[in-house]
Amino acid sequence: MIPKKLIRSIPPESIKAGQCYLFPGEVVRRVVAIMPNGDVQYEIRGPRPLKGWRPGKGRLNSFASAAIKAVPCDYEPGSEGYEPG
């Protein structure tokens, strides 16, 4: 059995600046920049876009491991094609 921390939803090399990703809890993160040292700068918002984006930062591998899938940046639960993650 593969340890859970080694299973990746999205390969780190496919994470792109400007793209948004869905995370558990219906959280959306928009990648701002991927740094040479493996850090990723992003903006984060909850399930409803009305509250706006807040800055965040983390490691690219952790970001990729936790991401469920790429989504449009205006993504909202309940919108067409939404499947809970």
Q: What is the pLDDT of residues 41-70, one digit of tens each?
A: 999 998 766 678 999 999 999 999 999 999
SS3 20: strand
Checking if the pLDDT of 2 tops 50, the result is no
> How far is 7 from 27, CA to CA, in rounded Å?
20
Q: What is the pLDDT of residues 9-24, one digit of tens each?
A: 799 999 999 999 999 9
**70, two tokens:** 């790429």
Q: Are 44 and 22 within 8 A, CB to CB? A: no
